[in-house]
Amino acid sequence: MLPAVPLAREPLARDERRRWLIALLLVAIAAIAVRWPAVEIGPLSDDYMQDAMINGSYPGEHYVPFDLYAFARSGASVVPHVEQGTLPWFVEADFHGAVLRPLSSLLLWLDHVIAPNAVRLWHVHSLLWFAASIFGFGLCVRRMLPRWPAALAVLLYACEAAFDSPLGWLANRCVLVCATLGFAAIWAHIEWRQPDPDTPGWLRRHGPIIELALMSLSLAAGEYGLGVVVYVAAWELLAGPRVATSTTRAWLRDRGRALVPAIVPVFVYLTCHKLLGYGTIGADVYADPINSPRAWFGWVQLRLPKLATGALWAVPASTIEVFRHPGAQWWNELWPSDTPTGYHQSHANFGRVGVAVAAVGLVLARFGLRDDERRTLRAVLLGAALGLLPISVAPAHSRLLVVAQLGACVAVSLIMFGCARLLLGRGRAAKLVVQRVLGVALLPIAAVMLWLHTVEDLKWTRRYLVHLDGMQASNAAAFTEGDLLDQELAGRDVIVMNGPSQSVGMYGPFVLHVHGMPEPNSWRSLALGGDYPIWVFRPSDKVLELAAIRGAWLLTAGELFFRRSDHSLAAGSTFDYPTMDVEVLADDGGGNPTRLRFSFTRSLDDPSFLFLISTRQGLMRWDIPPVEGSQTVPRPALPYVGNREVLFGDGRGPK
């Protein structure tokens, strides 16, 4: 063995282990109390699809109980989706969106089986996973850090706003399941690799098997588990047992054997992912690095700095939200943008600055840390950084950062304690005056980080849960506040002229089913997510021509869920479906359609058709113009619910 080095971390004695678990329980109860409003949020977006999969009304089969995240598979199955409306008419022919999350799927199915229609209980289920993740996180950081830095890291984690979407959006619970089981796997790995004197004997003996099981379950819950494996590898590389070996080969052999329980589940997961046909094809905003490496590389340059700064500074990682947050709105005031591309680039630049400032803080904090704390810091930062790569396939959002919080919260906690030690003259610097100069330089960075990770995170949590509640209520109100329910719906084919969201524009029958309302035969949108009015002309009995007024199709992220931006639809492009053909008559010069012709197989006056427009008053029946007549369809809108705009107003929207 190498000579002993004084450690900052105190081993966990049996009595303290008991007190630590009690403290974690109290923190978990308080954290649940703060998030309790989440139980009032109704189904959102994918929740409607998964309900339809379970009740059998979603196109396709074999979803229950392990495949509720296989939203669409490529090939012939795309056409039935378009005919029913669960994919838009402009979707790519090879579109494929299926995510391997069998455990999370099973848990959602059990919700429906054990407590049918009990949405509040399903949210309570999510809250229990949140509480369990606090326990997993707490056990993990206490094995890495001294007592008080570990306690601060747990408090930072409990305040984190990244949990708001997973708690308010049932389909996103998978993040919590991955994190809970993943943190427990890291804890088990450290316990058997570097046991404390009071580490239980069963954990010493069976640690590798326990770690293997926990890692397998984490990956079965979803791809977020890939971020857990890199923590284990980084810990082994930079902070693992310091065992003297005669050769580099022996050192590598020791580390390699230790990583087997973590690596084997990854190999199994990736093999199943490939052989069973999971992944994303034909989408722009979900850039699969295997199927679309060029698109992914283009996005990752923008997304990584957004995600990293979101984790380190506790500001939203989503571009649509970040500049409304107190920690970032000043940036947009100094360097405003007025285009979607400009906002993304501005946010990425903000992220790069955020990472640079955090790096300065980490360098300064090192002078106040002990050797084992420095090794731990390097390990968790490397693990968190590499763990951002698998989540960068999705649009940047704080909900993706739950696993990354292990690195972020440990880093912020050590910055706080490093700063305090330097100011108190207890650091490693040679002279007291140098220590205090370093501490003073670090103080503003530490203070801002602590404020954002606690006070502002808790404020944002309140606002975001109210926002989700209002967003869900607005989408639901679209079905109840207009004259939709005055129409005969059974057996009819609904055409939404201007779908404002996926819930209203694509999942109408599923929303109606969840709320106990009659369901139509199909529900299709001719325009989805675009913020412009449409001029409509009917040249013949079965044909409609639509022209975007000062706008174009395929410019929004909602549309690019289903099509790559480099696969444009220039004038002359066509789509042929069994009951509808589409032709692009004109584009904006960049391949984004501005005028379209929709040709149906039967008269538009057929009473089986029901045309709708989405307005502030809800979904309203729209009277089709006569042959050679025209009308204007207004910009898409949803009924206003007072709390829907709470993120983008003054923060005091009424409930």
Return the higher-pLDDT residue of 504 and 652: 504
Say if residue 649's pLDDT is above 60: no
State the average pLDDT for the chain: 92
Is 459 among the domain residues? Answer: yes
The pLDDT tens digits of the residues spanning 335-369 come to 888 888 899 999 999 999 999 999 999 999 999 99
Which pLDDT score is estimated for 338? 81
Contacts for 341 with CB less than 8 Å, ≥ 6 apart: none
Same domain, 500 and 466: no
469 neighbors 330 (Cβ within 8 angstroms): no
Say if residue 135's pLDDT is above 60: yes
Distance CA 503, CA 511 (A): 7
Percent of the chain past pLDDT 90, that is, above it, reads 79
Distance CA 160, CA 453 (A): 7
Which pLDDT score is estimated for 150? 97
Which pLDDT score is estimated for 654? 28
Same domain, 618 and 550: yes
Q: What number is the average pLDDT over the span 139-158?
A: 96
Say if residue 156's pLDDT is above 90: yes
| Secondary structure of residue 538 in the 3-state scheme | strand
Q: H or E element: which one contains 620? A: strand 618-621
Which residues constitute the domain of residue 538?
484-633
Is 55 among the domain residues? Answer: no
Same domain, 456 and 499: no
Same domain, 129 and 237: yes
Say if residue 299's pLDDT is above 50: yes
Confidence of residue 648 (pLDDT cuts 50, 70, 90): low
Is 336 among the domain residues? Answer: no
Distance CA 132, CA 5 (A): 34
Confidence of residue 646 (pLDDT cuts 50, 70, 90): low
- Provide the H-helix boundaries in 481-586: 502-505, 508-514
Q: Indicate the residue among 414, 443, 470 that finishes a domain.
A: 470
Query: Which tokens belong to 33?
Result: 């109390």
Same domain, 116 and 29: yes
pTM of full prediction above 0.85: yes
Is 641 among the domain residues? Answer: no
Q: What number is the average pLDDT over the span 197-213?
A: 93
Same domain, 157 and 279: yes
Percent of the chain past pLDDT 70, that is, above it, reads 95
Is 435 among the domain residues? Answer: yes
Query: Which tokens belong to 330?
Result: 């000043």
Same domain, 208 and 274: yes
For residue 250, the tally of other CB atoms under 10 A from its CB is: 12
Say if residue 473's pLDDT is above 60: yes
Is 69 among the domain residues? Answer: no
The pLDDT tens digits of the residues spanning 253-296 come to 889 999 999 999 999 999 999 999 998 888 888 887 877 787 78
Is 463 among the domain residues? Answer: yes
Q: How many domains does the chain have?
A: 2
Same domain, 271 and 296: yes
| Secondary structure of residue 310 in the 3-state scheme | helix
Same domain, 34 and 122: yes
b/e code 399-413 from CB counts within 10 Å (16+ = b): bbbbbbbbbbbbbbb
Say if residue 586's pLDDT is above 70: yes
Query: Which tokens belong to 601?
Result: 């197989």
Same domain, 497 and 397: no
Same domain, 272 and 220: yes
Contacts for 541 with CB less than 8 Å, ≥ 6 apart: 603, 604, 605, 627
Is 478 among the domain residues? Answer: no
Same domain, 461 and 500: no
